[in-house]
């Protein structure tokens, strides 16, 4: 087995999704190297070198990789894939953007969002919004996988891998980064937060999310949302939890004014403890909540903040 | 500019799927099928490009069993000009779909191809990216805005951190996210008119693509069942339970 993991980072710091992906890689085999492709990303390479179980860090440091545009990343990864048996990336928007193209150029399938490694070529993945789990066997020589990070623990960071420089530069010249609108927040990231409080259409407007933020501040929680709340413009798209948004599995998930559509449940039903606050006692969210509170959120949530 | 749009026939998003008792798959007999919601958004975007005078023709493509014609007719009723069905009884993995679509692109030479970002049955989220790699076209995935400016396109993408805007050289492949637009409904007169719009049927053999099996489905099982818990009477009880019973705060 010879495994390559594609690191996720912003050129300054490593995203924790990479740690979960390394754990999945180590469940497949022991020879794990990690590619850090970016621009002036030395600090990321150093962080990756500390991940336990990683043998080699490959660093491709060039302006062409600053934003990890698919057109430039594909030739690089395909070149580094020579001799590899498995290529893994986290199932983030970045991993999902890049890995299918890598697979296509290698003429192999990509297996999306694995949640379990059964053997070197058998993996489990959710389908139909998590309402079924498919066990699939790869028949290809190279297995290209994306990893659902919530299904694997973070790897420890007590290692000391060697760092190697990758010289090749691929600039396809077909795409250019223009701008970015990144939601700045002091709160933890949704996908790695221990506690999440999410609001749905029941919040009424964006201003009302302030009452959720007050709870979040007390608990050190992240704030999420349903699709309905994002579509209505209450909050930004990066907060959407669900089948087609972010997949989360915190220790505690508090759903406020969310009905519990299957597409929303798909993104949070693996949370350890689920709390639902909804004024409709028939809301489907109650069927999966450990603790349900039938109440008007505008009364219950401020009271919650007070009692915490 | 010609715009090519893919539409996949999938289980309706409101249907709760059931895993077959022999674990061979999910039960699709007698369930309502529909156009994948992300493909509806793709069709809508193409029609808006035509209404804005940017697209001259909208061609919709589906790959799969004969019944996919229903979804193609829906797309024609929404405003697409003509349809292509690549008919096969075989299960098509994303890579095979991408290879077949690459052949269609070779024939049709579109300026833009719009796909859904993911099909809600397999949740693969792959086909558009594979197609871009195979054709060498630039890709704008998870698009919430597409602006054509001459031989370039500005695509705003929904990424984990927020929104990212990239500039791509045409022709491009775009995949749709939820906020790109709100699809319209087809009117009755348009549904009638759609019956007369051209729909051609091709086969993978005619396109010169042999369907290769890359993965084998071993079993499909239901996910672990999550049991509902209890109702608490008030906020004080909730806080008490979270502290002392669940011990999560
Ligand atoms: C229970 C189950 C069993 C399966 N068994 C097998 C099997 O035995 N063998 C096998 O080869 N595969 C099997 N599959 C996979 C096959 O059914 C899927 O179609 C395949 O994974 C393709 O996924 P996708 O391309 O739709 O995904 P995505 O990449 O998520 O699709 C993205 C977009 O691509 C476009 N698109 C994709 N496919 C089509 C299409 N056919 N027509 C038009 N547009 C399309 C659409 O715009 C769609 O929104 C199985 C899947 C399931 C759920
Ligand atoms: C292709 C596709 C993909 C999708 N992807 C996602 C996804 O990723 N994530 C997602 O979340 N959804 C997704 N959806 C949408 C999903 O089907 C639902 O429409 C959505 O989750 C509903 O959001 P909601 O629960 O906030 O709104 P609603 O269903 O309208 O529920 C609002 C709830 O708030 C309660 N409420 C109202 N006022 C109060 C109050 N004062 N106090 C207490 N409770 C109150 C109501 O009782 C109700 O239960 C997707 C849909 C499709 C078709």
Q: pLDDT (tens digit, 9 = 90+) per residue, A94-145?
A: 999 999 999 999 999 999 999 999 999 999 999 999 999 999 999 999 999 9
Question: Using CB atoms and an 8 Å cut-off, which of residues 82-101 of chain B contact chain A?
Answer: 93-95, 98
Tokens, residue B121: 């049955």
**In the predicted model, what is the mean pLDDT of residues A157-174?**
94
Q: Which residues line ligand 2 at a C-beta cut-off of 6 Å?
A: A 200-202, 226-229, 240-245, 257-259, 261, 263-264, 267, 278-280, 283, 296-298; B 13, 37, 120
**In the predicted model, what is the mean pLDDT of residues B19-24?**
95
Give the model's pLDDT for residue B117: 97
B40 touches chain A (CB under 8 A): no
> Are the Cβ atoms of B178 and A227 closer than 8 angstroms?
yes
Percent over 90 (pLDDT), chain A: 97
Give the model's pLDDT for residue B40: 98
DSSP A212-271: HHHHHHHHT-EEEE-HHHHHTTSS-GGGBBSTTSB----SEEEEES----HHHHHHHTT-
Would residue B186 count as lying in a domain?
yes
> Are the Cβ atoms of B246 and A291 closer than 8 angstroms?
yes
Would residue B85 count as lying in a domain?
yes
Task: List the domain range (segments joined by +) for residue B92.
Answer: 2-244
Give the model's pLDDT for residue A144: 98
Would residue B61 count as lying in a domain?
yes
Q: Which residue carries 């409904």 as its tokens?
A: B185
Q: Model confidence at A185, in pLDDT bands (50, 70, 90)?
A: confident
Would residue B9 count as lying in a domain?
yes
Tokens, residue B75: 């797309």
CATH number for the domain spanning B26: value is 3.40.50.620
Give the total number of structural domains in chain B.
1
The rounded mean pLDDT for chain B is 96
Q: Model confidence at B102, in pLDDT bands (50, 70, 90)?
A: very high
Which residues on B lie below 8 Å from A104 (Cβ)? Answer: 95, 98, 129-131, 133-134
Give the model's pLDDT for residue A238: 95
Would residue B50 count as lying in a domain?
yes
A183 pLDDT above the threshold of 90: no
Would residue B183 count as lying in a domain?
yes
d(CA A32, CA A28): 9
Give the model's pLDDT for residue B18: 93
What percent helix, strand, coil does chain A show, rounded to 5? 30, 30, 40
Contact A8, A90 (CB under 8 A): yes
d(CA B11, CA B92): 16
Kindly report, residue by residue over B191-247, the tens digit of the pLDDT: 999 999 999 999 999 999 999 999 999 999 999 888 889 999 999 999 999 999 999
Would residue B249 count as lying in a domain?
no
């Amino acid at each position: 087995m010879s495994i390559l993991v594609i690191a996720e980072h912003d050129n300054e710091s490593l995203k924790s999704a990479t740690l979960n992906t390394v754990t999945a890689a180590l469940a497949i085999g022991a020879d794990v190297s990690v590619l850090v492709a970016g621009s002036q990303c030395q600090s990321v390479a150093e962080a990756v070198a500390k991940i336990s179980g990683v043998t080699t860090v490959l660093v491709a440091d060039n302006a062409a990789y600053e934003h990890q545009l698919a057109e430039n990343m594909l030739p690089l990864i395909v070149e580094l894939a020579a001799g590899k048996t498995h290529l893994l990336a986290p199932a983030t928007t970045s991993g999902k953007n890049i890995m299918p193209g890598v697979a296509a150029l290698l003429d192999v399938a990509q297996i999306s969002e694995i949640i379990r490694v059964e053997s070197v070529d058998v993996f489990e993945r959710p389908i139909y919004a998590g309402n079924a789990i498919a066990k699939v066997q790869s028949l290809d020589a190279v297995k290209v996988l994306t990893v659902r990070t919530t299904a694997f623990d973070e790897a420890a960071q007590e290692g000391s891998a060697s760092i190697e420089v990758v010289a090749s530069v691929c600039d396809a010249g077909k795409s250019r980064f223009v701008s970015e609108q990144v939601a700045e927040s002091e709160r933890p990231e949704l996908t790695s937060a221990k506690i999440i409080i999410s609001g749905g259409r029941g919040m009424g407007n964006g201003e009302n999310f302030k009452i959720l933020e007050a709870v979040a501040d007390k608990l050190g929680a992240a704030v999420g949302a349903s699709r309905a709340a994002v579509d209505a413009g209450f909050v930004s798209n990066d907060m959407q939890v669900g089948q087609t948004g972010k997949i989360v599995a915190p220790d505690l998930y508090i759903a406020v004014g969310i009905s519990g559509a299957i597409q929303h449940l798909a993104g949070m039903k693996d949370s350890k403890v689920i709390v639902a606050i909804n004024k409709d006692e028939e809301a489907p969210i109650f069927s999966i909540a450990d603790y349900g509170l039938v109440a008007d959120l505008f009364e219950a949530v401020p009271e919650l903040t007070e009692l915490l | 500019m010609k715009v090519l749009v893919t539409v996949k026939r999938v289980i309706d998003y409101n249907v709760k799927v059931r895993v077959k008792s022999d674990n061979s798959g999910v039960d699709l007999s007698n369930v309502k099928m529909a156009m994948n919601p992300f493909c509806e958004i793709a069709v809508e975007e193409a029609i808006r490009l035509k209404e804005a005078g940017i697209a001259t023709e909208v061609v919709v493509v589906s790959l799969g069993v004969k019944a996919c014609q229903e979804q193609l007719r829906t797309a024609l009723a929404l405003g697409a000009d003509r349809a292509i069905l690549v008919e096969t009884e075989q299960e098509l993995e994303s890579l095979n779909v991408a290879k077949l679509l690459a052949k269609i692109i070779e024939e049709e030479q579109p300026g833009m191809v719009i796909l859904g970002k993911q099909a809600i049955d397999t949740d693969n989220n792959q086909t558009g990216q594979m197609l871009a790699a195979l054709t060498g076209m630039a890709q704008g995935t998870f698009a919430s805005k597409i602006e054509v400016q001459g031989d370039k396109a500005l695509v705003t993408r929904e990424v984990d951190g927020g929104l990212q805007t990239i500039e791509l050289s045409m022709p491009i492949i775009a995949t749709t996210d939820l906020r790109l637009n709100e699809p319209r409904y087809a009117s009755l007169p348009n549904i009638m008119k759609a019956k007369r719009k051209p729909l051609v049927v091709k086969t993978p053999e005619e396109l010169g693509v042999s369907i290769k099996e890359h993965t084998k489905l071993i079993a499909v099982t239901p996910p672990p069942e999550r049991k509902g818990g209890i109702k608490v009477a008030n906020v004080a009880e909730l806080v008490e339970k979270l502290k002392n019973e669940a011990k999560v705060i």
